[in-house]
């Protein structure tokens, strides 16, 4: 991307497409945004970075009218605007596409795009289709106006959301983690779209935690830390280490991958495994693979292709409809969770909040899967529980006290509690699902390092992740799931992201 400076021209200074001055937002004693200034030029992609809780989402919610600032002003094209609702933001030329699309699935693409802009109750379908087709051609966004939204892929739905914002005369487009559920080809298509929009003078605010994407698509990057802007840089003039340092307030050195114990004996053997999903429909179909000691097997796939069901069957949370699961020679097919844990399986589920009991303390949650070991007669031994918690809190650097309610912890510290509970038992097999989803840079780095240390210790690790970069970074081998079937297997060192993306999209005949 070309670098945008001040926007000055021979005829004078061009005002930013949107500018925030002195934005402050408090939630009780918490200051989410503290005098934030942000300026986004026409025709640029401006990245917004920061750890969880840094204030990014709050700032963008204020800009789009989903929250109201306690102080500060918003300017669009150099003029102050009052934004109290998304309707006000849209009127000011500001659009937003979140990770959770606001589309009506039974309706067509054209109906979704013109919804609320028809001037009446009834939608004139032919006229709507013609207008949407014209808008799609103008912005270079490929959509089928007659397609039902419920039949579209995630990437196609995202294009519909973007076109819907542009159809409403959006001049500033906010994208919140837009690549989180896209395969590599869809990311490439999105970036091509953003470049075309910038050529037309549209301004884009791009929120992402993936530094490689920020480097590829953005012109400038602004970093927030604890609600304060700590720096705005031209993307091409700042390195990853400096960006990471700005985000977390210290230098981060990335995941240190060591050579592990090498692939040893088979720890997990899965043969012909099938399972039913929602509404009793097949979700996992005849999966056969193995995980060996001292290796990480990555499971790639677009969300909803059987990864969740696979992990749940392996952890005893869902019954198999066919096939078998064997761990270290023990048949655990459709075993209950307690038996799975007793057999040496550690479970890191994708929903970390569902893995804890919110009404209990940190100490109780750290001992949740082994409370029987802390009984003294009919009662729990509070002293031993506390000592156990203090040991794990120190070992896993959890920012909490034993008696703190588990619900008061941040996402990163909550994940550390789950890791501590599982890893302290030194499991033979780890089944890990989406371990860094929603975590900030420092917490993500910590979790990934812990997984590599388990591999080095000699445990087998099954890693389910929708983050392809994470899989390529950590895994020794990769399998790809599409519509519940394993459609490919490859050594991670030989994996090409484009080829994996084709497999994830169901194009099993694609050449590597």
pLDDT digits (tens, 9 = 90+) for 210-241: 778 899 999 999 999 889 999 999 999 998 77
Any domain includes 385? yes
Q: What are the strands of the beta sheet with 429-433, ordered from one edge?
A: 345-348, 429-433, 460-464, 296-300, 477-482, 485-491
Any domain includes 350? no
The total domain count for the chain is 3
Are 472 and 371 in a shared domain?
no
Provide the residue count of the chain. Answer: 512
Are 301 and 174 in a shared domain?
no
Are 437 and 481 in a shared domain?
yes
Any domain includes 130? yes
* Least confident residue range of 307-321, 434-448, 461-475, 494-508: 494-508
Predicted confidence (pLDDT) at residue 261 exceeds the cutoff of 90: no
Are 112 and 32 in a shared domain?
yes
Residues 6+ apart with CB under 8 A from 206: 45, 46, 47, 48, 175, 178, 194, 214, 217, 218
Phi, psi of 503 (to 5 degrees): -65, -45
Q: Give the span between the Cα atoms of 290 and 267, in whole angstroms.
A: 8
**Residues pairing with 433 in the sheet:** 464
Are 29 and 101 in a shared domain?
yes
Q: Give the span between the Cα atoms of 363 and 376, in whole angstroms.
A: 16
Higher confidence at residue 177 or residue 41? 41
Q: Which of 282, 267, 280, 264 is nearest to 323 (CA)?
A: 282
Q: Which of 497, 511, 424, 510 is nearest to 187 (CA)?
A: 497
Q: What is the CATH number of the domain that holds 108?
A: 3.40.50.300
Can you tell me the mean pLDDT for 398-420? 92
Predicted confidence (pLDDT) at residue 506 exceeds the cutoff of 80: no
Domain boundary among 216, 248, 280: 248
Q: What is the CA radius of gyration of the chain?
A: 25
**Residues pairing with 346 in the sheet:** 430
Any domain includes 438? yes
CA angle 217, 218, 219 (to 5 degrees): 130
Are 167 and 269 in a shared domain?
no
Are 21 and 83 in a shared domain?
yes
Q: Are 320 and 273 in contact (CB under 8 A)?
A: yes
Any domain includes 262? yes
CA 106, distance to chain mean position in Å, is 26
Q: Which of 244, 79, 86, 294 is nearest to 174 (CA)?
A: 86
Are 199 and 165 in a shared domain?
yes
Domain boundary among 420, 452, 469: 420
Predicted confidence (pLDDT) at residue 8 exceeds the cutoff of 60: no
* pLDDT above 90 as % of the chain: 58
pLDDT score of 210 = 75
Any domain includes 1? no
Predicted confidence (pLDDT) at residue 10 exceeds the cutoff of 60: no
Are 416 and 443 in a shared domain?
no
Which domain range does residue 381 map to?
Answer: 361-420
Q: Which helix (H) or strand (E) holds 98?
A: none
The tokens for 377 are 């007669």
Are 320 and 469 in a shared domain?
yes
Predicted confidence band of residue 121 (pLDDT cuts 50, 70, 90): very low
Are 453 and 375 in a shared domain?
no
pLDDT score of 439 = 80
pLDDT score of 250 = 53
Are 367 and 458 in a shared domain?
no
Predicted confidence (pLDDT) at residue 300 exceeds the cutoff of 60: yes
Supply the DSSP symbol for 258: -
Domain boundary among 248, 267, 291: 248
């Amino acid at each position: 991307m070309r670098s945008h400076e001040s926007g000055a021209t021979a005829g004078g200074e061009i005002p930013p497409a949107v500018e925030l001055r002195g934005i402050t937002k408090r939630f009780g004693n918490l200051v989410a945004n503290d005098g934030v200034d942000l300026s986004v030029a026409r025709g640029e992609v401006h990245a917004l970075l920061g750890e969880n809780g840094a204030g990014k989402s709050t700032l963008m919610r204020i800009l789009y009218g989903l929250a109201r600032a306690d102080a500060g002003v918003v300017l669009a094209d150099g003029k102050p605007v009052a934004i109290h609702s998304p309707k006000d933001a849209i009127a000011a030329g500001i659009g937003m596409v979140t990770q959770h699309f606001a589309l009506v699935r039974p309706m067509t693409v054209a109906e979704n795009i013109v919804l609320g802009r028809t001037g009446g109750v009834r939608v004139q379908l032919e006229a709507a289709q013609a207008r949407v087709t014209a808008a799609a051609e103008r912005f270079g966004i490929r959509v089928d106006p007659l397609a039902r939204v419920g039949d579209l892929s995630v990437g196609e739905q995202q294009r519909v959301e973007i076109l819907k914002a542009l159809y409403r005369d959006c001049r500033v487009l906010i994208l919140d983690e837009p690549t989180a559920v896209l395969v590599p080809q869809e990311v490439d298509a999105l970036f091509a779209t953003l470049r075309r929009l910038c050529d037309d003078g549209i301004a884009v605010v791009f929120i992402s935690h993936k530094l490689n994407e920020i480097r590829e698509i953005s012109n400038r990057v602004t970093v927030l830390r604890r609600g304060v802007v700590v720096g705005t840089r031209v993307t091409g003039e700042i390195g990853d280490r400096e960006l990471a340092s700005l985000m977390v307030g210290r230098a981060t050195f990335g995941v240190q991958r060591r050579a592990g114990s090498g692939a040893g004996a088979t720890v997990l053997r899965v043969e012909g495994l099938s399972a039913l999903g929602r509404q009793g429909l097949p979700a996992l179909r005849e999966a056969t693979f193995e995980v060996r000691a001292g290796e990480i097997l990555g499971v790639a796939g677009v969300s909803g292709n059987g990864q969740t069901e696979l992990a749940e069957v392996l952890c005893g949370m869902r019954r198999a409809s066919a096939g078998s699961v064997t761990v270290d020679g023990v048949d655990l097919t459709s075993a209950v969770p307690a038996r799975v844990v007793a057999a040496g399986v550690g479970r890191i589920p994708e929903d970390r909040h569902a893995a804890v009991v919110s009404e209990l303390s940190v100490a109780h949650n750290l001992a949740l899967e082994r409370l029987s070991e802390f009984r003294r007669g009919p009662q729990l031994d509070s002293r031993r529980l506390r000592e156990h918690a203090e040991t794990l809190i120190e070992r896993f650097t959890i920012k909490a006290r034993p008696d703190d309610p588990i619900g008061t912890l941040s996402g990163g510290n909550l994940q550390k509690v789950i890791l501590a509970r599982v890893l302290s038992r030194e499991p033979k097999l780890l089944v890990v699902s989406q371990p860094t989803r929603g975590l900030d840079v420092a917490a993500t780095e910590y979790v990934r390092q812990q997984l590599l240390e388990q591999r080095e210790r000699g445990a087998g690790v099954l890693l389910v992740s929708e983050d392809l970069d994470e899989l390529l970074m950590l895994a020794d081998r990769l399998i790809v799931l599409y519509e519940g079937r394993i459609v490919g297997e490859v050594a991670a060192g030989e994996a090409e992201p484009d080829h994996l993306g084709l497999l994830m999209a169901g194009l099993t005949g694609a050449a590597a």
